[in-house]
Chains A and B, each alone.
Chain A
Amino acid sequence: MDVLFSELKAWGADTDSAVRLVLGDKGFYYEKLSEFGELKETELLKEALEDKDYNRAFRIAHDLKGVTVTLGLMPLHYAAAAVTEDLREGHHEDLFRDMEILLGEEAAFLKILSRRAV
């Protein structure tokens, strides 16, 4: 588990704060990380954007932003925040780029998670 946390840290995650947030319960934290890994929220976000349902997209992106900061997944959090801001400000022209970043970070996270599954 510690190897996973080290790799997540190297990727940019703030696992220390996140573990502190769950009162040092690393097992619980790992469980939540795994649950998050299975959520596939970005797919829902992509679908909403493809349907041009920006309200739904905003809600999902916002939700993603909230959960990722709770879990200390900062690269994902920043990417989700960027997408949230694009949607809030109506900068739809930046969405494609920011979504690419978000998906890239998500792939990186999932790769680390699958490689170091406990």
Chain B
Amino acid sequence: MNTVHQSVSLKPSCVVGIGASAGGLEALQQFLTFLPSNTGMAFVIIQHLAPDHKSMLAGILEKYSAMPVTEIRDGMTIERNHVYMIPPRYNVEIEEDVLHLKEYDLGIINHPIDIFFRSLAAAYENRAVAVILSGTGSDGTSGIRSIKEQNGVIIVQTPESAKFDGMPRNAIATGFVDMVQNPDSIAKEMAHIAASIIESNSRFLLSDQDLMSQIFSILRNVTNINYAYYKQTTILRRIERRLVITHSRNLNEYVTYLNNNPEEAKTLAKEVLIGVTSFFRDSEYFDVLKETVIKHILRSSPREKQIRVWVAGCSTGEEAYSIAILFAEAMEELGFRRDIKIFATDLESDSIASAVRGVYSDNIIEDVSVTRLSKYFTRKGNKYVIHHDIRQMIIFAQHNIFQDPPFGRLDLISCRNVLIYFQTVLQRNLFAIFHKALNDQGYLFLGRSESVIDYDEIFRGVCANEKIFIHNIAGKAPVHEHFAYTMPSFENMLEPIPIQETEDDAEVKHKSAELDTSVLEALMPACVLVNEKNELVRSYGDCSQFLSIPSGDATLDIFMLIRPDLRIAVSTVLKDSREKDEKVSYENVPVRLSENPEHIAIVAQPILDRHGLKTNFTGIAFLRGNAELSGNVEEYRIDTAASKRISDLEQELRLTKDDLRQTVTELESVNAELQAANEELLTANEELQSSNEELQSVNEELYTVNSEYQSKVNELASVNDDMANFLSTTLVGILMVDKELKIRKYTEYISTEFNLADQDIGRSLRYITFNFTTVDLMQQCSQVLSTMDPIEQHCASIAGKTYLIRIAPYLSQEGGKLEKADGADVRDQMTTLQGLVLTFVDTTKQIDDQEQIEEIARALRKAVRTGQEKENFLSQMSHDMRTPMTAISGLTELTLKDASISDSVRDNLEKIKMSSDYLVGLIEEILETSRINAGKIVITSSAVREETVIGSVQTIIEEQMRSAGLHFSVNISGSQNRYVLMDVPHVERVLLNLLSNGIKYTPRGGEVSFNAEVRYANNCAQYTYTIRDTGVGITDSFKQKMFLPFEQDIREGDLHDGAGLGLYICRQLVELMGGSIECESSIGKGSIFTVRLSYSLATEEQIALSAHRAETYEDQVLYGKNILVVDDNRINAEVIIKNLNTKGIHAELASDGQEAVDMFLARGPYHYQAILMDLMMPVKSGEEATTEIRHLPLEDASTIPVIGLTADVTEGVEERCREAGMNSFISKPVESEKLFYMLAELFQKKEQGEQ
């Protein structure tokens, strides 16, 4: 269950796909730098990468993000606050929360960003965020359509900030983009988007109808469109997205924003109307449409009839163009043409403007087949432009279906994915409109998820699956309210963009030519100049009687312009003149220019240029009257001329026929060749386009690789700088040489002993002089080169300095080739010897210092020895004194019990007892001090209720306070009386000591208070104990030394006794427990001692152990016992004590037999419940000590269990132990279970014995 819960919690709130290409690295670095690391989103970076190049991007980008940056592995589960990086050669898709990798085919154009965005939209719907950063091309443009369709957020880098603006600009051109910002702003926006998307799911549960009405009202004012009958969910989804973009926290805020920003109302209206469309969307539906509907319409329509189609809600025109293409294809396949008129309308003006242009990004290759692309589009740069023929079929117009009158007499209406925006009431109206607009048996083509609701009798399914319906005009229409049309809006109809004709250059007319013309016009007879095509080029003189403009199409053909009665004559003379290439004149040509018939002469002459060369022009002059003719003058006879003319025409016709036949043959051949060539060109063109795209793609990849290298180069430069600075500033001489001992690098510092300069780099070390005469450097270098073992040696330079020289091999790690093993890249590492590194460390000062240190150490050792000797003396003396003093005290007490002694003797004995008790106390303190100094006091903590110690201290001291006539108060604040780990005896000892001092130094009637204040922090109980008295106070001079051993504040008349060790012991114990002690005091006012100690809170196990809830009887028996461990080897003793502590056994340590005897005696009867005694010890062996203890005058001396410890398991050990008075023995290493068992058994026996 936990695992499931954990995996749910790791899921991202939404996933951000980031598409980048050339120049993307810089944008990504900027983006990640400013990206918060706790948005709860996951980020997937789809960067165009070179397929054969191992990407370093993850490593580079990691430095810019606090989130982990991971290269994607197939099947990886996506987690929140993680960045994922596409690997080279793969496309990434996301399904639920798992990333899948698919290797792509290197031979085809790949759009990894589109692929990922589409899968992201499907998987995360409105929780998908698409970001497009720098890059060329249009990858991502198609993908954001899917994101938009699912109401996701789309953010694009500003083209100005992008290194390459192709991808951002193409994305912006779609009109789907929500925000255009710089990468840093996009990053900062992420946290807001994440929060808004999480909130949005619940935000509209409380949607307010009043506010919605306000929004509709605003939209109506701005767009003149009533959105009230549009689907609320669609509008709400758009509003929801706008809330995110405008940073509005709720609908109320958004309405205010709308009121203040008219532009936002336009944007929202546009968002509501925005249609996501594509060419041949649901291509199988379009195939059926073409075969079933379009071909049927074409076949059944009369030739002269115009076929009318209405594409309602055409958005950016893809659907209209798709239908036009289908008509073009169908007509081609059927082998005839028809007049097609497609009316494509939309409410949104920007969409219509875009549709009119007919220019689309290269992403349409995913929707449009290569054949259609080459046939109906022209590629311009990275855009596709629709062909003129297709464009001509369509009339685009901004049109409101419900307000503007519909188109009529239609054969087909395509209205796809429009109904989904409307509520049922609007849908019914729309069908009523279509009912009026469509011809009977006309067709209606709807979107994949749309239906004809109540109009199923009017629109009957032809291909129900493909949503194609046929119009049955006789069907019964349902009754409902109809909307009235308003002003028609066809004034906005947009005609196809006219293709600009190329203007001919204006003719240059010279003034002289104009004069010439005027003269000729005035003086010349009527003349015309014709070209080889018999076209009139120019006329001179008054030709009005000979030429006239015929009705019909305008023409320059001279035979059409010339008077009919002169046609034969002119054609004959023209032909003659051309054939003979000379001037030919016909005279007496009859003509009726006026009422009376008359004869004129016609002269035809080929025209030469100014150089006398032949031109294509022939001049024809019409001469009236008796003009004198020269040259070839023939009498014009109409019959001869006519028969000649007929013969000529027949000849010409024959020739023309032959020519025509030949031309047709040639044309057919050429046509076939051209067709073949055209196909080849088409293929070549496609290949070139493909190659071009590949090159572009490779170029982008190279750019990315280059950026990565650039980044690495910068890192290397930085490392080099570090290295150079290190080498120039280090106070260690470093010399690097290659295998031939040629110098590669050196530090400045080395030049103090080597005569080196920069020009010596590359020279062999053999030729460099240096100041070391006592060492053969060359020989040692050779040795290290051969053995590869470093050498270290001390040597002195001529200058008197000493150095530590180290010669070590210079090894380089060389990577082997990349291999794939189990899907992981493996890089072989080979170490090769490249040369040597010689290090010279100046040890002159170090050696001098070393000598000084040794001298100081000698002095210190001597002082310590003296101190130790002094302490040993005191300790030894105390040992020696304690036994007789104890005996004196004991014997005195015995004697005092004798009733027969006299009063004076009793008085003396009491004084002896008091003095001896004082001396024993003094000796105890000295011995304890000695143990502290020798580090023999071990702090052992066990779990106790924290107030326990305060209670026990209070109980002990209260009686003494009363006896001393003092007012005593105890106060605890902040305590929760929890279980803490505390060394109770030592804490008690400290507190009792301080309180005893209070009693000692406070006059009768005074006050002593004991406060304990607790704070809990860091799993500890932090205690501040305050012991306050109203006593005599402490002098300032004594305050300085009050915690030193054997220091006492002795004042006149002072009756207080002691050795001056109490406070010293207190401080030592407090410090051993990790605490502190301090004192404030004023003479005559009293003193305040503050002790601060911190106790760890006990764990359940520790409490269980201490609370005597042990599972075994053995544990119960052992818990809380106090054992004296006697072993001269501290390590062994500590191991034993560690084991004892686990059972809640308190242990004290004595380091030899004598100390054990002393401690046993000093602690008094029943202080210890057992003794673990090592046999072999200095001063006094374990056997001797046990024997002595057994004879001490203490009640438990003979009964306390003593267990011998020995590493010696030779024969007779057991007997020796028994003889010495030990109960048992155990061999080393001391196994805890064995020891516990033995102890428990002994305790039990002892208990039974006592009973």
Which residues of A does B touch, CB under 8 Å? 17-18, 21-23, 25, 28, 32, 35-36, 59, 62-63, 65-67, 69-72, 84, 88
Q: Assess the B1131–A67 pair: CB atoms within 8 A.
A: yes
Q: Assess the A63–B1228 pair: CB atoms within 8 A.
A: no
With contacts A23-B1142, A66-B1228 known, is A32 near B1131, CB below 8 A? yes
B1207 within 8 A of A: yes
Which residues of A sit under 8 angstroms from B1230, Cβ to Cβ? 21, 70
Q: Assess the B1228–A69 pair: CB atoms within 8 A.
A: yes
Q: Assess the B1207–A69 pair: CB atoms within 8 A.
A: yes
Q: Measured between alpha carbons, how far is A39 from B257 in the docked complex, in Å? A: 82
Q: Which residue of B lies closest to A72 (CB)?
A: B1229
Which residues of B sit under 8 angstroms from A25, Cβ to Cβ? 1138
Q: Measured between alpha carbons, how far is A28 from B1131 in the docked complex, in Å? A: 11
Residue among B1128, B1139, B1207, B1228 with most chain A CB within 10 A: B1207
Which residues of A sit under 8 angstroms from B1130, Cβ to Cβ? 35
Q: Assess the A32–B1134 pair: CB atoms within 8 A.
A: yes
Q: Which residue of A lies closest to B1177 (CB)?
A: A59
Residue among A21, A22, A88 with most chain B CB within 10 A: A21
Q: Measured between alpha carbons, how far is A65 from B1208 in the docked complex, in Å? A: 9
With contacts A22-B1138, A67-B1131, A70-B1135 known, is A59 near B1229, CB below 8 A? no
| Minimum distance in angstroms from B1179 CB to a CB of chain A | 11
With contacts A21-B1135, A23-B1139, A35-B1131 known, is A63 near B1232, CB below 8 A? no
With contacts A21-B1229, A69-B1228 known, is A28 near B1129, CB below 8 A? no
| Minimum distance in angstroms from B317 CB to a CB of chain A | 72
Which residues of A sit under 8 angstroms from B1142, Cβ to Cβ? 23
Q: Measured between alpha carbons, how far is A74 from B40 in the docked complex, in Å? A: 57
Q: Assess the A70–B1229 pair: CB atoms within 8 A.
A: yes
Contacting residue for A21 out of B1128, B1129, B1232, CB 8 A: B1232
Q: Which residue of A lies closest to B1134 (CB)?
A: A32
| Minimum distance in angstroms from B1115 CB to a CB of chain A | 15
In the A-B complex, the 9 residue pairs with the smallest Cβ-Cβ separation, listed nearest first, are A66-B1207, A70-B1229, A66-B1228, A62-B1176, A65-B1207, A69-B1229, A67-B1129, A32-B1131, A67-B1131
Q: Measured between alpha carbons, how far is A25 from B1142 in the docked complex, in Å? A: 12
With contacts A66-B1207, A69-B1207 known, is A23 near B1229, CB below 8 A? no
Q: Measured between alpha carbons, how far is A67 from B1210 in the docked complex, in Å? A: 17
Which residues of B sit under 8 angstroms from A22, Cβ to Cβ? 1135, 1138-1139
Q: Measured between alpha carbons, how far is A2 from B1195 in the docked complex, in Å? A: 51
- In the assembled complex, 12 residue pairs joining A and B whose CB atoms fall closer than 8 Å, in A order, are A22-B1138, A22-B1139, A32-B1131, A32-B1134, A59-B1178, A62-B1208, A63-B1129, A65-B1207, A66-B1207, A69-B1207, A69-B1229, A70-B1131
| Minimum distance in angstroms from A33 CB to a CB of chain B | 9
B454 within 8 A of A: no
Contacts beyond the supplied A22-B1139, A59-B1177, A65-B1208: 11 A-B pairs with Cβ under 8 Å: A21-B1230, A22-B1135, A23-B1232, A28-B1138, A35-B1131, A59-B1176, A62-B1208, A65-B1207, A66-B1228, A69-B1228, A70-B1228
Q: Assess the B1232–A67 pair: CB atoms within 8 A.
A: no
Which residues of B sit under 8 angstroms from A72, Cβ to Cβ? 1229
Q: Measured between alpha carbons, how far is A22 from B1178 in the docked complex, in Å? A: 26
For chain B, the bracket of interface size reads 20 to 34
- Total number of A-B contacts with CB less than 8 angstroms? 57
Contacting residue for B1131 out of A17, A36, A62, A88, CB 8 A: A36
Q: Assess the A67–B1138 pair: CB atoms within 8 A.
A: no
Q: Assess the A71–B1131 pair: CB atoms within 8 A.
A: yes
Q: Assess the A21–B1231 pair: CB atoms within 8 A.
A: yes
Which residues of A sit under 8 angstroms from B1206, Cβ to Cβ? 66
Which residues of A sit under 8 angstroms from B1210, Cβ to Cβ? 88
Q: Measured between alpha carbons, how far is A65 from B1132 in the docked complex, in Å? A: 11
Which residues of B sit under 8 angstroms from A35, Cβ to Cβ? 1130-1131
Q: Which residue of A lies closest to B1142 (CB)?
A: A23
Q: Measured between alpha carbons, how far is A17 from B1230 in the docked complex, in Å? A: 11
Which residues of B does A touch, CB under 8 Å? 1128-1132, 1134-1135, 1138-1139, 1142, 1174, 1176-1178, 1206-1208, 1210, 1228-1232
Q: Which residue of A lies closest to B1136 (CB)?
A: A70
Which residues of B sit under 8 angstroms from A18, Cβ to Cβ? 1229
With contacts A21-B1229, A21-B1232, A59-B1178 known, is A66 near B1129, CB below 8 A? yes
Which residues of A sit under 8 angstroms from B1231, Cβ to Cβ? 21
Which residues of B sit under 8 angstroms from A23, Cβ to Cβ? 1138-1139, 1142, 1232
Q: Which residue of A lies closest to B1176 (CB)?
A: A62
Which residues of A sit under 8 angstroms from B1131, Cβ to Cβ? 32, 35-36, 67, 70-71
Contacting residue for A70 out of B1132, B1176, B1177, CB 8 A: B1132
Q: Measured between alpha carbons, how far is A63 from B1129 in the docked complex, in Å? A: 7
Q: Measured between alpha carbons, how far is A32 from B1208 in the docked complex, in Å? A: 22
Q: Measured between alpha carbons, how far is A106 from B1231 in the docked complex, in Å? A: 25
Contacting residue for A67 out of B1132, B1178, B1208, CB 8 A: B1132
Which residues of B sit under 8 angstroms from A59, Cβ to Cβ? 1176-1178
Q: Measured between alpha carbons, how far is A98 from B1208 in the docked complex, in Å? A: 18
Which residues of A sit under 8 angstroms from B1177, Cβ to Cβ? 59
Q: Measured between alpha carbons, how far is A70 from B1206 in the docked complex, in Å? A: 11
Q: Measured between alpha carbons, how far is A71 from B1135 in the docked complex, in Å? A: 9
Which residues of B sit under 8 angstroms from A63, Cβ to Cβ? 1128-1129, 1176
Q: Which residue of A lies closest to B1208 (CB)?
A: A62
Q: Which residue of B lies closest to A41 (CB)?
A: B1129
Which residues of A sit under 8 angstroms from B1132, Cβ to Cβ? 66-67, 70
Which residues of A sit under 8 angstroms from B1176, Cβ to Cβ? 59, 62-63, 66
| Minimum distance in angstroms from A55 CB to a CB of chain B | 10
Q: Measured between alpha carbons, how far is A21 from B1230 in the docked complex, in Å? A: 8
Which residues of A sit under 8 angstroms from B1129, Cβ to Cβ? 63, 66-67
Q: Measured between alpha carbons, how far is A62 from B1018 in the docked complex, in Å? A: 46
| Minimum distance in angstroms from A81 CB to a CB of chain B | 8
Q: Which residue of B lies closest to A88 (CB)?
A: B1210
| Minimum distance in angstroms from B42 CB to a CB of chain A | 37
Which residues of A sit under 8 angstroms from B1139, Cβ to Cβ? 21-23
Q: Which residue of A lies closest to B1205 (CB)?
A: A66
Q: Measured between alpha carbons, how far is A66 from B1131 in the docked complex, in Å? A: 10
Residue among A28, A32, A66 with most chain B CB within 10 A: A66
Q: Measured between alpha carbons, how far is A32 from B1138 in the docked complex, in Å? A: 12
Q: Which residue of B lies closest to A14 (CB)?
A: B1229
Which residues of B sit under 8 angstroms from A36, Cβ to Cβ? 1131
Q: Measured between alpha carbons, how far is A23 from B1236 in the docked complex, in Å? A: 14
Which residues of A sit under 8 angstroms from B1128, Cβ to Cβ? 63
Which residues of B sit under 8 angstroms from A67, Cβ to Cβ? 1129, 1131-1132
| Minimum distance in angstroms from B938 CB to a CB of chain A | 14
Q: Measured between alpha carbons, how far is A6 from B275 in the docked complex, in Å? A: 71
Q: Assess the A32–B1207 pair: CB atoms within 8 A.
A: no
Which residues of B sit under 8 angstroms from A88, Cβ to Cβ? 1210
Q: Measured between alpha carbons, how far is A84 from B1177 in the docked complex, in Å? A: 14
Q: Measured between alpha carbons, how far is A28 from B1139 in the docked complex, in Å? A: 12
| Minimum distance in angstroms from B1234 CB to a CB of chain A | 11
Q: Measured between alpha carbons, how far is A49 from B478 in the docked complex, in Å? A: 124
Residue among A18, A59, A65, A70 with most chain B CB within 10 A: A70
Which residues of B sit under 8 angstroms from A70, Cβ to Cβ? 1131-1132, 1135, 1228-1230
Q: Measured between alpha carbons, how far is A22 from B1138 in the docked complex, in Å? A: 7
Q: Which residue of A lies closest to B1228 (CB)?
A: A66
Q: Measured between alpha carbons, how far is A4 from B1228 in the docked complex, in Å? A: 24
| Minimum distance in angstroms from B524 CB to a CB of chain A | 122
Residue among B1129, B1131, B1142, B1228 with most chain A CB within 10 A: B1131
| Minimum distance in angstroms from B610 CB to a CB of chain A | 110
| Minimum distance in angstroms from A114 CB to a CB of chain B | 16
Q: Measured between alpha carbons, how far is A72 from B1207 in the docked complex, in Å? A: 13
| Minimum distance in angstroms from B1152 CB to a CB of chain A | 11
Which residues of B sit under 8 angstroms from A17, Cβ to Cβ? 1229
Q: Measured between alpha carbons, how far is A35 from B1229 in the docked complex, in Å? A: 17
Q: Assess the B1135–A32 pair: CB atoms within 8 A.
A: yes
Q: Measured between alpha carbons, how far is A19 from B1135 in the docked complex, in Å? A: 11
| Minimum distance in angstroms from B283 CB to a CB of chain A | 65
